[in-house]
């Protein structure tokens, strides 16, 4: 996608995000574009997410990071950060400064029709699954699978 078209796409996505999730702000600084926002989970914990729209977005899957808190403890002991790329916890290799990178779409699912809004929604679901993990010790993939199964049944 030519640079002008790509910029129009991110401008449109910024408008959608401002309407649907005004607590996620679009930032264009130098050659970097990203959404940054905060979420408090149902258990009252506060998180900050950043979604980088690195070129050639939307052809390339964007990276979604939990930047606050920078270390996410696991139930029992250790941290999700220590796992890096993990199917069980729906994470990719860690991001800058070792922060957790949420796996939101697989490469086979991603195409240019996917949006930043959809990625953020998946990030919020991941955070809620993480809140359940902290209480139960269950893996995030197991929690999300149960949520999806229940959603289909209802």
Higher-confidence residue of 1 and 54: namely 54
Say how many domains are in the chain. 1
Q: How far apart are CA 102 and CA 89, in angstroms?
A: 9
How confident is the model over 43-80, as pLDDT tens digits?
Answer: 999 999 999 999 999 999 999 999 999 999 999 999 99
CA atoms of 105 and 22, how far apart (whole Å)? 23
Per-residue pLDDT of 18-48, as tens digits, reads 999 999 999 999 989 999 999 999 999 999 9
> In a 10 Å sphere around its CB, with 0-12 CB exposed, 13-18 middle and 19+ buried, how is residue 1 labelled?
middle
What pLDDT is recorded for position 148?
86
63-68 and 91-92 strand pairing? unpaired
Residue 12 has pLDDT above 90, yes or no: yes
The band of 5, judged by pLDDT with boundaries at 50, 70 and 90, is low
- Residue 152: pLDDT band by 50, 70, 90 thresholds? confident
Q: Which domain holds residue 86?
A: 3-153
Q: What is the CATH number of the domain that holds 85?
A: 3.10.110
How do residues 110-138 score in pLDDT, each as one tens digit? 999 999 999 999 999 999 999 999 999 99
pLDDT of residue 91: 98
Record the tokens describing residue 130, joined without a space: 């993480």
Q: Name the pTM for this structure.
A: 0.92
Q: Is the pLDDT of residue 3 over 70?
A: no
Q: How many CB atoms lie under 10 A from the CB of residue 60?
A: 13
Which of 41, 11, 13, 37 has its CA nearest to residue 24? 37
């Amino acid at each position: 996608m030519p640079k002008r078209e790509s910029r129009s796409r991110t401008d449109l996505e910024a408008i959608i995000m401002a309407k649907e999730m005004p607590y996620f702000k679009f930032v264009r600084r130098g050659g970097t574009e990203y959404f940054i926002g905060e979420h408090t989970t149902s258990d009252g914990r506060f998180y900050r997410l950043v979604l980088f729209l690195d070129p050639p977005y939307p052809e390339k899957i964007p990276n979604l990071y939990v930047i606050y808190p920078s270390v996410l403890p696991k139930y029992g002991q250790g941290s999700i950060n220590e796992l890096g790329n993990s199917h069980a916890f729906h994470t990719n290799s860690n991001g800058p400064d070792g922060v957790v990178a949420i796996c939101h779409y697989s490469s086979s699912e991603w195409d240019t029709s996917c949006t930043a809004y959809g990625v953020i929604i998946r990030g919020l679901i991941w955070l809620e699954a993480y809140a359940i993990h902290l209480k139960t010790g269950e893996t995030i993939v197991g929690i999300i699978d149960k949520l999806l199964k229940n959603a289909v049944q209802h």
